[in-house]
Amino acid sequence: MQQGRMPTPVSAGGMTNTYYEEALSRRMAAVERERGERERWEREHREKQKAYWAHWDKIEEERRGRVSYAMNPDLEEAQRQFSAASKRERETIDDDLAKLKACWGRCAQREKNMSRTGVIYMPPMMNLFNS
């Protein structure tokens, strides 16, 4: 055999080429090794994630234990005031949104009416929440 040439497979006559078999077995071993490393990494990663979330779950439980409304009436009153304020704020936002939708509807109707006559309507700049 000459130096530097790849041997050709010999399949005639039932003979086998051990070079290709060895290369194939080396590649299969590398694939198995990579699969094992990947599975090991995934397993370690899952364990790290479990530990991370367990840590935060423990912190959350401690926080819940400290903020007990039954034990502290001041916190309960503060929570009640906050929910009332947020309810008022939501109602205000809903009212503003209704005004805005009504204004948009009026502008769209004006534009539709004007487009029939061929006049382009440009709505004036206005404060939409005080209309």
- Could you list the pLDDT tens digit for every one of the 131 residues in the chain? 455 555 555 555 545 678 888 899 999 999 999 999 999 999 999 999 999 998 888 888 877 766 555 556 676 777 777 788 888 888 888 888 888 888 888 877 777 776 666 655 555 555 555 55
pLDDT at 1: 45
pLDDT at 38: 94
Torsion of CA 34, 39, 45, 51, to 10 degrees: -150
pLDDT at 68: 54
pLDDT at 73: 66
Pair of tokens at residue 9: 């497979």
Pair of tokens at residue 23: 């290369």
pLDDT at 103: 82
Considering only the C-alpha atoms of the chain, give the largest distance between any 2 of them, rounded to a whole number of Å. Answer: 97
d(CA 30, CA 36): 10
Contact 103, 114 (CB under 8 A): no
Contact 99, 129 (CB under 8 A): yes
Assign 118 to helix, strand or coil. Answer: coil
Contact 131, 103 (CB under 8 A): yes
